[in-house]
Amino acid sequence: MDKDKVLNLAKLARIEIGDEEAESLSSEFGAILGYVGEVKGVTSPQPLSLARRGEEGRGVSNVMREDVGPHESGLYTEKILEQAPAREGDYIKVKKIL
């Protein structure tokens, strides 16, 4: 993977990195992808179901619950807004988008 590819991935991930870091990541990724690439092409003898063997429909399933029992409105509002880097009243403040 070359430096430009790394810079493009960093852009997709919304992370600012410098040329030097991109250069060193590109050689590290070469080693890491070489190693993890072992899993490619190791084909399984049969298509595998989503569930683990012996627990089809039990081990892996969607867990749903009724949309009930909310906490008291406003209970966490102040605690959560306190954590925001910028706020205006009960809103989190961001720069103009449009």
Partner 1 sequence: MTPEEIRIKDKDTHAFLEVFDPEPEQARYGAGVLSGKTVAIKDNILFEGHKASAGSKILENFTAPYDATVVKKLKAAGATIVGRTNMDEFAMGSSTENSAYGVTKNPYDLTRVPGGSSGGSAGAVASGMCDMALGSDTGGSIRQPAAFCGVVGLKPTYGRVSRSGLIALASSLDQIGPFTKSVSDAEILYNVIKGQDALDSTTISEEAYPAQRKFSKVIGIPRTFVESEGIDESVKKNFKEVEERFRSLGYEIRDIELPHIKYSLATYYIIMPAEASSNLARFDGVKYGFHKDGKDVIEDYFKTRGEGFGREARRRIILGTYVLSSGYYDEYYGSALNMKKLITNEFIDAFEKVDLILTPTTPTPAFKLGEKTSDPLAMYLADIFTVPANIAGLPSISIPSGVIGNLPLGIELTAGLGREDNLFIAGKEFLGE
Q: Who's near 33: CB < 8 A, 6+ residues apart?
A: 1
Among 9, 1, 11, smallest CA distance to 32 is for 1
List the x/- string, 10-29, binding to partner 1 by CB under 8 A.
Answer: x-xxxxxx---x---x--xx
Task: Report 58-97 residues binding partner 1 (CB under 8 A).
Answer: 58-59, 63, 65, 76, 79-80, 82-86, 92, 94-97
SS3 81: helix
Nearer to partner 1, 58 or 73 (CB): 58
Nearer to partner 1, 89 or 97 (CB): 97
Q: Does 42 bind partner 1 (CB under 8 A)?
A: yes
